[in-house]
Structure 1
Amino acid sequence: MLFRTLGPVAALLLGSAFLLFAGGMNGLLLPIRGEIEGFTAASLGMLGTGWAIGYVAGCLGTPVLVARVGHVRAFGVMCALAAITVLASLLFLTPWVWTPMRAISGFCFAGAAMIVESWLSERAGRESRGRIFGIYTMVNLGATTLGQLALTLGDPSGHVFFVVAAMIYCLALVPTAVSASQLPAPLTSVALDLPALWRNSPIAVFSVLMVGISNGAFGALSAVYAARQGLTLADVALFASVPLLAGALAQAPVGILSDRLDRRLVLIGTALLCACADLLFVIGLVDGTLAILLAAGVFGATAFSMYPLIAAHANDHASEGTALQVSGGLLLVFGIGSIFGPSAAGFAMTAYGAQSLFVVTGAAHVLLVLFALFRLRARAAVAHDDKTAFRPIPLPRAATPQTAAFAAGEADAPQGQGG
C-alpha cells in the first residue's frame, strides 16, 4: 500500500527533499559565516528581511511565470537561480550582496516549492492526498533539519558548504526534469485582500502578523544569538533545529485541544507560554547548553504551532468557497510580518545585545495576547459543529498558497461557517 502511494510521487518528493536540504543548509550557513566575518546583527537581520520579501514576491509571481513558460522550465529557472545566489554569496562576502541574493533565493524557493506542491497535488488521488501531504511535510522537515545539522561536519569559514548547497539546489531540478508524468494544472494564485481578511477574522489577521514578526526574527537570527552565547557550532545547529522539530510535534496536541475548546483560548494560552520562554531568554535564566536548548524547545513548540491554529480559526469563519483564499491570504500576511521582524530584531541586537532578539519576539507575543483578549469580548466562539478540522501544515516559512490547496484539495477544501 505504501509503495503504491509513494511510487508515482517518489521523484517529486526526492526533488523537494533536495530543495529543502539545500535551503536548510544555506539558511543557517549565512548567519554563521556572517558572524565569522564580523557582520553586525542588523545586517544579518536584513538577510531575513530580504528572504521574506523575495518569498512573498515568489508566492505572488510564480503562477504568472508558470503560465508563461510551463512548470518544468520555471522549476529549472528557480533551482538554477538559487544555486547562483549561493555561489555569489561566496564570491562577495558582504551584506550588501548577500541581502539581495537572499531576496532572489526567497523568490526561487517559494516558486520551486509551489511547483512541486502543484505537481504532487495533481498526482495524489482523493483517497491518498492526506497520506502524501503528511509524508511531504515530514520529508521537508527532515530535509531542512539534516541540512542544518550537516554544517557540523565541516568548517563554515571555508567554501565547501556554499558549493555543496549550490550543487544540491541543482540536483533538485533533476527528478522533475526527467519525470514523464503529466504536467499539473495551473498553480493556485491568491490576491491579498486585507479588508476581506479582516472582516473574516480580525484576530487571525493581527495574530498571524505578530507570529510572522516573531518567527521571522527567530528564523533569521537564532544562530546569531546562539553563537553569541558561546555555543559550539554543533549546538548552534541544534538551537536552530530543535524549535522546528518541537513545533512540528506540538501541532497534533494543540490541534486536538483547539478542536475541543475555543481556538482563541488555546491561542492565548500558547502565546502566553511562548512569552514565558521569551522572558527566560531576556532575563538570562537559561544558563548552559542544555537549559538553552530546552528553552528553545519550549519556544519552538509554542511559536511554531500558532500558525496552523490561527489558520484553523480563520477557516472556521470563512464563507463557502473562500477557505483557500483565506489560507493563502494569511500566508501573505505572515510573510509581511516576516519582512519586519528580522530587521527590527537585528537592529535591536546591534544596539542592546543578543537578548534583544527575544524582546522583539516577546513583544509580538504579548501584543497577540492582548488583542486576542479584546476580541474575546467582541465575538462569540464558533459552535463545535461549525468548526473546520484542524490541519497540521508545514512551518509557514516553508509554506505557500499552493500548500493550502495541496492540503485541502480543490474538491474537499474546508468550508466553515461563522459570524
Structure 2
Amino acid sequence: MLNSEAIQDVSLNTNLLSLRAVMISMAAVQFATATLGTLVAVFFAEIGSSQEIVSLAAAAYSLGFMIGCFVIAGSIAAFGHIRAYSASAAICSIVALLFFLSENVWMLVVSRFAVGLATASLFAIGDAWISAKALPELRGRVLSIYAAMMGLMSVGSQLLLIFGPKDLDRLFVLLSVVYSISVIVIDTTRTNPPDSKSKTSVRPRALLKDAPTAFWGALAIGMVSAAVLNVAPFGASVQGVSTEDIALMIAAIYAGRVIFQFPLGKASDRMDRRIVIFGMALVATIVFLGFAVLDNPNAEAPEVRTGSLTHIAFLGALTVLGGSLLTMYSVLIAHASDRTVPVYVASSAVTMLFVWTSGSVVGPLVISALSAFFGDQALVWTITAIMASFTLFVAYQLRAVQPPAMAERTTHQNVVTTSVKVAPIEKAKS
C-alpha cells in the first residue's frame, strides 16, 4: 500500500507529465528571452550606439511587457490561446531576425517594444496554462518546479553566448529558431488550453497603504534589475569586456537567484520578513557601491585572468548580488500577503507585478536621461542610490511599524515575474 505522500508524488509526476509540452515551450521562451536581453545590449555596443539608446530600448521592452500583461493578455481567449501563442512567438522570431538585418537603432528600439508585448503574451498563455492545469492540491509544488526551471533556463541561456557562434548575427538567427521550436512543441500538446477569463484588479494605493515596504521594494527592484540585466552589459562591452565574459557575469547573477531563492525564502518564514528584505537590500547596496567606486568607463576593463582569485571573487560578488536582488521579489510578495486581508491576496500579487513592471520602465528612462548629462557612470551610481534609499526606508519601517501577528503570516512561495497568471490566489498558511 502506498502512503499519502507516495500517492501525492505519483500524482505530481503524472501532472507534470501532462504539462511537459507547455513547460518545454516556456523553457524555450525563457531561454530565448534571457539570451536576447544580454545580446541586444552587446549588439548596440558593437554598432557604436550610446547608453541613452540602450536604456530607451530596455524601457521600451518593459513598457511593452507591462501593456502586454495588463491590457493584451486579457483578450487572448477571444482569439484562441494556440493562435495567440503562435502569433506572439512569430513576432519575437521576426524581431530577432531584424537585429540580423538592420542597424537602424530607432527601428530596433520600437522592435524591443514589440518583443515586450509578445513576450508578455507568451508568458500569460504559458503561465495560465500551467497554473490552471495544475491540480489544486499540487499547485504550489508545480509552480515551484516551474519557477526553478525558469531560473535554470536563465542561467543556461548565457551558455549560448559563451559556447555558441562568435558572430552576433548568427546568434540572433539561432534565437529565431528557438522561438520557432517553442511553437512546434506547444502545437503538439494534447492538453487543452485554459478557458479562465477571470480578472483581478490592480490596487496600488491599497498596497502602498497596507505594505509600503512591498510597494517601494517592487518599484526599486524593477528599476534596478532592468538596468542590471539589460543596460549594464552594454557598458561592459564598451569597456572591452568580451561577449563570453559578459555572458558569464550575467549567468552568475541568474545563478544567485537559483542558489539563494529557497534558503532566503525559508529564513523569511522564521522572522519578520523585513529583516530579511533589509539584509538583501543592504548586501545589494554594498556590492553596487563597490562596483561604482571601481568603475571607470573612460578606461578599458583591466585584463583579469580566468580562474584567478580576482576573477572568482568578482563572479562570487555577482552571484551574491543576484541572490540578494533577484530573489527579493518573492519575499516582498510574501510580505505583501502578510499585510493583506485574504480576499485581496490575488489583487495584491497582481499589483506587485504592476509596480515591478512600472519600475522596469522608469529605471532605464531615468538612467537614459542622466547618462546624457553625466555619461555612462550614471548607470552604476543611479542603481546604487536607488538601492541605498530603499535600504534606509526598510530600516525606518523596522523601527516605526510592528510586524504582523504570527496568525496573519503566510508561507513563502517561489514567484516568477512573468505574468499575472501565476499570482498567489490565497494566503498559504504554514
Question: Normalising to structure 2: TM-score of the pair?
Answer: 0.88
**Structure 1 residues 150, 245: CA separation in 2 closer, same or farther (over 3 Å shift)?**
same
Identity of aligned residues (%): 25
Distance in 2 (CA, whole Å) between partners of 1:122 and 1:154 is: 36
Segment of structure 1 superposing worse, 270-279 or 340-349 = 340-349
**Are the equivalent residues in 2 in contact too, given 1:316–1:387 (CA < 8 A)?**
yes
Deviations 1:272-308 (A, max 9, x none): 1111001110111897433332221221111112111
**Are the equivalent residues in 2 in contact too, given 1:248–1:304 (CA < 8 A)?**
no
**Structure 1 residues 209, 276: CA separation in 2 closer, same or farther (over 3 Å shift)?**
same
What is the root-mean-square deviation in Å for CA atoms of aligned residues?
A: 2.2
For 1:280, give the aligned amino acid: G
How far is 1:3 from its partner?
Answer: 4.4
Deviations 1:146-199 (A, max 9, x none): 222202234554421111111211221222222232231325534332222222
1:338 paired residue among 357, 360, 365? 360
Distance in 1 (CA, whole Å) between partners of 2:280 and 2:159 is: 28
Segment of structure 1 superposing worse, 223-232 or 246-255 = 223-232
Tell me the SS of whatever aligns to 2:194: coil
**Structure 1 residues 82, 234: CA separation in 2 closer, same or farther (over 3 Å shift)?**
same
- Counterpart in the other structure of 1:64: 74
**Are the equivalent residues in 2 in contact too, given 1:63–1:186 (CA < 8 A)?**
no
Distance in 1 (CA, whole Å) between partners of 2:132 and 2:35 is: 29
- Counterpart in the other structure of 1:282: 292
Distance in 1 (CA, whole Å) between partners of 2:108 and 2:266 is: 42
- Counterpart in the other structure of 2:250: 240
**Are the equivalent residues in 1 in contact too, given 2:77–2:195 (CA < 8 A)?**
no
Distance in 1 (CA, whole Å) between partners of 2:294 and 2:281 is: 20
Residue 45 (structure 2) pairs with residue 25 (structure 1): no
Residue 387 (structure 2) pairs with residue 365 (structure 1): yes
**Are the equivalent residues in 2 in contact too, given 1:200–1:318 (CA < 8 A)?**
yes
Distance in 2 (CA, whole Å) between partners of 1:254 and 1:346 is: 33
- Counterpart in the other structure of 2:398: 376
**Are the equivalent residues in 1 in contact too, given 2:134–2:142 (CA < 8 A)?**
yes
For 1:267, give the aligned amino acid: I
- Counterpart in the other structure of 1:54: 64
How far is 1:347 from its partner?
Answer: 4.6
How far is 1:332 from its partner?
Answer: 0.7
For 1:369, give the aligned amino acid: T
Distance in 1 (CA, whole Å) between partners of 2:163 and 2:373 is: 33
- Counterpart in the other structure of 1:270: 280
**Structure 1 portions without partners, runs of 5+:** none
Distance in 1 (CA, whole Å) between partners of 2:198 and 2:98 is: 31
How far is 1:229 from its partner?
Answer: 4.4
- Counterpart in the other structure of 1:133: 143
2:330 paired residue among 308, 319, 335? 308
Residue 422 (structure 2) pairs with residue 400 (structure 1): no
Distance in 2 (CA, whole Å) between partners of 1:11 and 1:367 is: 43
How far is 1:325 from its partner?
Answer: 0.7
- Counterpart in the other structure of 2:127: 117
- Counterpart in the other structure of 1:259: 269
How far is 1:78 from its partner?
Answer: 1.0
**Structure 2 portions without partners, runs of 5+:** 1-9, 296-300, 305-310
Matches within 5 A, 1:183-262: 183-186=193-196, 189-262=199-272
Residue 320 (structure 2) pairs with residue 298 (structure 1): yes
How far is 1:16 from its partner?
Answer: 0.7
How far is 1:43 from its partner?
Answer: 0.6
Residue 114 (structure 2) pairs with residue 101 (structure 1): no
Distance in 1 (CA, whole Å) between partners of 2:187 and 2:285 is: 46
How far is 1:389 from its partner?
Answer: 0.6
**Structure 1 residues 249, 142: CA separation in 2 closer, same or farther (over 3 Å shift)?**
same
Distance in 1 (CA, whole Å) between partners of 2:328 and 2:13 is: 33
Distance in 1 (CA, whole Å) between partners of 2:254 and 2:164 is: 22
Distance in 2 (CA, whole Å) between partners of 1:343 and 1:290 is: 33
**Structure 1 residues 353, 240: CA separation in 2 closer, same or farther (over 3 Å shift)?**
farther
Segment of structure 1 superposing worse, 187-196 or 76-85 = 187-196
Question: Normalising to structure 1: TM-score of the pair?
Answer: 0.91
How far is 1:88 from its partner?
Answer: 2.0
For 2:144, give the aligned amino acid: G
**Structure 1 residues 189, 157: CA separation in 2 closer, same or farther (over 3 Å shift)?**
farther
For 1:336, give the aligned amino acid: S
Tell me the SS of whatever aligns to 2:294: coil
Distance in 1 (CA, whole Å) between partners of 2:134 and 2:196 is: 16
Tell me the SS of whatever aligns to 1:63: helix
How far is 1:356 from its partner?
Answer: 3.4
